[in-house]
Amino acid sequence: MQTYQTGDSLIFKVPEREISLQPAALYPEAFPVAEAEAVIQPIALSIHSWVVQTPHDLIVIDTATGNGRGARRQSALSST
């Protein structure tokens, strides 16, 4: 787990999901077909929460982008 410190507070990154995609899968309009086929370096995407520990508080920052949250799932590869 990645940990950062700022002043007397600790910040923890809590990974939930990590995926790799070709950039053209996220932004097909930005990559003409010839360029999209040439782009072979995938980009890494991460869904995570944060925990901040201060001397007096413990704070959870949940971005609500993971499973089981009742929202409609969005896929970067969907054909909507």
pLDDT digits (tens, 9 = 90+) for 23-65: 778 777 877 766 655 656 788 888 889 999 999 999 999 877 6
Residue 24: the pLDDT is 78
**Is 79 contained in some domain?**
no
Q: Which pLDDT value is given to residue 13?
A: 94
Mean pLDDT of 64-72: 58
For residues 76 and 29, the model is more confident at: 29
52 lies in which domain range? 3-61
What's the pLDDT band for 79 if we cut at 50, 70, 90?
very low
| 26 assigned to some structural domain | yes
> Does 8 reside within a domain?
yes
Task: Provide the number of structural domains found in the chain.
Answer: 1
Residue 55 lies in a domain: yes
CA distances from 40 to 15, 21, 22, 34 (A): 25, 10, 7, 12
Q: Does a structural domain hold residue 50?
A: yes
In-domain check, residue 44: yes
pLDDT of res. 80 = 45
